[in-house]
Structures are given as C-alpha cells and as structure tokens.
Amino acid sequence: CPPPPPYPYQLGNSESEWAELDAVVKFIKGLPGRNKPIRFIGYSLGAAIMGAYTLQNPGNVESLLLLAPVFPPKGRWSGNPAAPFGRPSEAQTLPMSTPALTWGFPMLVGTKTGFRMGLDGNPALREPDIVDLAWEACMDNDPLGSKWGREVAPGEYEGILRYRNTYWWGWNDQTVPHQNPAGTRVLGERVPVLIIYGEQDRAANSPATLPDPVRFSVPALYAAVPGPKKLMFCLAGSGHSLVWELTAKTVHHMSKQWFKNGQVEGLTSGSYFRDPDGQLILLP
C-alpha cells in the first residue's frame, strides 16, 4: 500500500515475545510426562528473547544453547536494578511509533537477492542450492509474502521475506548477570549455557562504530555470563547462517553432545576456536 502505513507502529516488543514464549513453554509442560524444565535453543535475535526469558523464569529452562546470538552489551533496559526487565523509560507507552524510520511500521521485508548475499560470507562453506531450499522454506511459511516481489514467470512471483519490527530490551551486560533467587546466578549456574558462532559472523559481531542498541558482540555475551557452567565455540570460516552452511554438521554434533551429556568434546566450560581440521584452540 502507498505510505504512510495504516498501522504506523512496531508490531512486537519484548513483553509480547516473552508472553508468546511462555505460552509455548506452558503448552509443552502441560503435555503428559513433560512437566519439567525445557532445553532451549535460540538463534540470532531469538537468543535475546530466550535469554531474557530464562533470566526471569529459570525454573522453566534446563539448558540454553545459543547459536549466533545477538547481544548488545549496552543495549536497552529499564535502567532499574530492582526491576531490570521493566520497560525502558522511552517505552513506557507501547507500541512505539517514533522515530518513524525505525518504529513507524509493523513489518520489515527482504528480497531473495539480499537473502543470498547474507549467506555469502564464505561461499566455500555453502552447500549447493541451499539458498533456494532455505528461501522455499521461508516462502512456504508465509502464504501472503510468497505472492509478492518480482514476477519471475506469468503469475509466479519470487516472494518477499517478511518479519515483524520488534522493539526489544532486557538483554545486556547489566541484565545477563541477574540472580534468581538473590545470591544465585541464573546463567552459568542454575542454567548451563552453550554458545556457538561463526568466525565471519558480521551480524552478531557488528562494527564498534554502530550505536549501542545495535552494537553486538558474541564474546561480550560469554564474558557477561557470570556462572562457571558456560562454554563457547567459534567455528572457523562460518558466518551468521551457520545452520545453513557445511558447519551445520558440526553444530549438530555439538548440540547432540550438549543435550545428551551436558558437555561438548568432554568440556563444560571455556572459550574455544575450532579450526578447519576440527582442532580446538583455547581462547583467552
């Protein structure tokens, strides 16, 4: 539709994301024989939602596996240590609409060309035809967006990738050390944490020149986790889409060990670089 959008606001926020996740958790725990903590897997921005949820609801989470996690060390939060997951001062009234170029619309969109570029961090690690397969899966998930975009054949469209514009908070170096209950650290103590990311990931490790809310760093997340039960692997050559690269086999291998034994290659803590030959090098 022509601008302005009929709904000139962001569509999601941390509270709505946490509520949706909590609904899923309650559904799973309500199944026969499933009333127990759940193993979480969070990819990219999903790490920010699942991580902050875990800090507030540690009894619901057995372990936390974060793939290419988005973490802004100086990201938005309430600014109140007594209520760290409350709304930031600028967001006391939701939804947000200003600045309009950031929050004045509900959905973000992307093209297949942009999608392909996002997978080109290291083409040598990209499996043949994975872009087409991944794009097809995304389009199958969106019957409306799949009918948009450029026309590739009479009556057939390439599609547009749509995802909601979300104002999120509560995931930074002030909240990650949260204790629940007081005196007991959640991440790395009550809930073990495994982090896996790619060496060439420029989405989860953004330039230092970017403003604080979008200045991301995976190593900073590892450093912020206060407990000893934390483990991190940086995979050589891999990018942000490591689950769609040849490194997916490594991720599967590591996650299987993590879920079965609570460790990877016999390790339960530490930060490591995994080279192309599979050798692990301890990072400082």
pLDDT at 140: 97
Residue 121 pLDDT > 70: no
CA gap 51, 56 in Å, rounded: 9
d(CA 161, CA 242): 19
DSSP per-residue codes, 77-133: --S-TTSTTSPPGGGSSSS---SHHHHSSSEEEE-HHHHHHHT-SSGGGBPTTHHHH
Q: If pLDDT is split at 50, 70 and 90, which confidence band does 212 have?
A: very high
Going along the chain from its start, the domains and CATH numbers come out as: 12-86+166-282 (3.40.50.1820), 107-164 (no CATH)
pTM for the whole structure: 0.94
Average pLDDT, the chain: 95
pLDDT in tens, 76-86: 999 999 999 99
- Confidence band of 127 (pLDDT split at 50, 70, 90): confident
Percent of the chain with pLDDT strictly greater than 90 = 89
Q: What residues contact 160, with CB distance under 8 A and at least 6 apart?
A: 109, 110, 111, 145, 146, 148, 149
For residue 3, pLDDT over 80 is answered with no
- Supply the pLDDT for residue 111: 96
Residues near 8 by beta carbon (within 8 Å), at least 6 away in sequence: 97, 100, 104, 105
Residue 183 belongs to what H/E stretch?
A: none
Round to whole Å and give the CA distance between 13 and 164. Answer: 10
DSSP state of 2: P
pLDDT at 1 (0 to 100): 64
Tokens standing for 1?
């539709």
Please, are residues 254 and 216 in contact by the beta-carbon 8 Å criterion? no
**pLDDT > 70 in the chain, percent:** 99
Is a pLDDT exceeding 90 seen at residue 129? Answer: no
Q: Specify the pLDDT at position 43.
A: 97
Q: Is the peptide bond before 99 cis (omega within 30 degrees of 0)?
A: yes
Q: For residue range 76-117, what is the model confidence (pLDDT) as tens digits?
A: 999 999 999 999 999 999 999 999 999 999 999 999 999 888
46-56 vs 14-29: helix axis angle to the nearest 10? 70
Show Cβ contacts of residue 139 under 8 Å, excluding neighbours closer than 6 positions. Answer: 145, 146, 159
Give the helix/strand (H/E) hosting 165.
none
What pLDDT, in 10s, does the model give residues 167-207?
999 999 999 999 999 999 999 999 999 999 999 999 999 99
SS3 assignment, position 194: strand
What is the predicted pLDDT for the residue at 5? 80
Residue 229 has pLDDT above 90, yes or no: yes
